[in-house]
Chains A and B, each alone.
Chain A
Amino acid sequence: EAGVTQFPSHSVIEKGQTVTLRCDPISGHDNLYWYRRVMGKEIKFLLHFVKESKQDESGMPNNRFLAERTGGTYSTLKVQPAELEDSGVYFCASSQPGLASYEQYFGPGTRLTVT
């Protein structure tokens, strides 16, 4: 079974540019999560999709961040325009359908560097 995949593995952009990160969850996993780790800090929750619906987006830092999951399969996270403080590692995770599943499977992350 393929795990959670993320693309790209590393992105370097200039301040003010736009970047789109992609996450492909494990097949059949309705739940998809985005997290972010900035330098020296803990991993922090950004948002949670159940299929194509945003279940919880309480962690999204501001309106420069837009997450989508059209069709309930893969998800994208767009940052526009990027700022220096957006640099960090963006993790995606997925989990099985249903209320009882708390075990999340993580992808390898996308390292975003904004210069």
Chain B
Amino acid sequence: EDKVVQSPLSLVVHEGDTVTLNCSYEVTNFRSLLWYKQEKKAPTFLFMLTSSGIEKKSGRLSSILDKKELFSILNITATQTGDSAVYLCAVVTSGTYKYIFGTGTRLKVLA
């Protein structure tokens, strides 16, 4: 059965810290991996990764995919209280468009 595992489940840091969130997967016919941020309601898109070794960046956030070791990381540098959210990892397999989600990592950034 296809599986996506995120770690840690939750994390508490102080403003200014750097965090690394992990997402590993075991799926057949991998197509893409996506990261979303969920603050209160709707998850919002962060990154989509399809190729290994190519870092995607957006401000203080960056992400990279390793298709050999079957994982991705999401880095957040110089964290701010506004980064507090649940970060969701999802995988899409070829031939379908449905997301297979991990349970998410709950990040809390303290002032």
Residues of A participating in the B interface, judged by any CB pair closer than 8 Å? 3-4, 31, 33, 35, 41-45, 48, 55-56, 58-59, 91, 95, 102-109
Contacts and interface: CB of A to CB of B under 8 A. Distances in A.
Contacts of B90: 43
Contact of A42 (B36, B41, B45, B102): B102
8 contacts: A42-B101, A43-B88, A43-B101, A48-B98, A55-B97, A91-B42, A102-B92, A104-B99
Main secondary structure of the interface of B (DSSP, over half): strand
Given A42-B103, A102-B48, A109 B41 contact: yes
Nearest to B44: A106
Contacts, number: 56
Interface of B: 4, 31-32, 34, 36, 41-45, 48, 88, 90, 92, 96-104
A30 B43 CA distance: 20
A109 B101 CA distance: 16
